[in-house]
Amino acid sequence: MGTWDQAGEKKKAKERKRMIRFFRKCLFHAGIEKSMANKYLKEMQQTLETANQMRADYLLAKTHLTRAQRKIERLLDYFADWTLSELVKQLQVLAKELQLVSNDCLMQEDDMDFVSSRECFLQMGDEQRLKMPGMRVMLQSELENLNAIFLEALEWEAPDFFAYAYYILHEGNETIKEMENDRRNSLVTEYVNGHFLDEFFGLCERANIQEQVIALMQDTI
């Protein structure tokens, strides 16, 4: 993250802590048992901090994925026009971008379609290999595969980062990281509602702070 982003994150973290202190006072004043109020607010703070980092990592990976997809399209649009040296330079730039696109909520590192096409592409990007008969045709095919994979990934809906963060803090990531995007999003939302938000929002409603709590969650992540 740049200096501006870091400053913004520090400001958000400070405001988050201030609001959670306020929520604690409101819950106590509403007669909520202190141990229960502290338990829920601690979970809320931990989840928000994790969700915020997850969101930042996701957005960075999506930026690189978008750049890579655009570079691939440009390569394909002018594929027949590139000289060998020009093509190699373009492929080297793309190769660096491809190392930065992985993210559990976007383009997973163990996605076999992605990994296979990326590895084939990297093997073909060598200048000497590209002089071999038929290698350009094979390279074009792998670029088309990568482009299709990336276009599909860019259409996926971003997860509810609060729900995802809460899930992995309590259950880990192994059971859901290979799920289809829609199924995973549905599962983590159901999980956080059933294990945390339904009851927590009930307490917040008693303390008349539910709207403020929701606003903090939405603004933070």
* pLDDT of amino acid 181: 81
Q: So what's the pLDDT on residue 13?
A: 83
**Per-residue pLDDT at 7:** 66
Question: Does the pTM exceed 0.95?
Answer: no
Average pLDDT, integer, range 194-220: 94
Which residue is associated with the tokens 């809906």? 157
Among 45-54, 117-126, 163-172, which stretch is predicted with the lowest mean pLDDT?
A: 117-126
pLDDT at 6: 64
Q: How many angstroms separate the CA atoms of 144 and 84, rounded?
A: 19
Answer whether 150's CB lies under 8 Å from 40's CB. Answer: no
Residue 107: per-residue pLDDT: 86
Over residues 41-62, mean pLDDT: 94
Q: Is 208 left (phi over 0), alpha (psi -120 to 50) or beta?
A: left
Residue 199 near residue 140 (C-beta atoms within 8 A): no
Report which of 203, 160, 162 is spatially closest to residue 184, judged by C-alpha positions.
Answer: 160
pLDDT in tens, 12-26: 888 889 999 999 999
- Res 54: pLDDT: 93
Half-sphere exposure in the Cβ direction for 94 (13 Å, CA): 27
Mean per-residue pLDDT of the chain = 89
Spatial CB neighbours of 2, under 8 Å, sequence gap ≥ 6: none
Query: Is residue 120 scored above 90 in pLDDT?
Result: no
> What token pair was written down for 133?
């008969």
Instruction: Find the mean pLDDT for residues 151-179.
Output: 90
CB 135 within 8 A of CB 84: no
**Contact indicator for 146, 118 with CB cutoff of 8 Å:** yes
Which tops the pLDDT comparison, 179 or 187?
Answer: 187
Q: Report, as an integer, the average pLDDT of 94-120.
A: 87
| Lookup: tokens for 134 | 């038929």
Confidence band of 45 (pLDDT split at 50, 70, 90)? very high
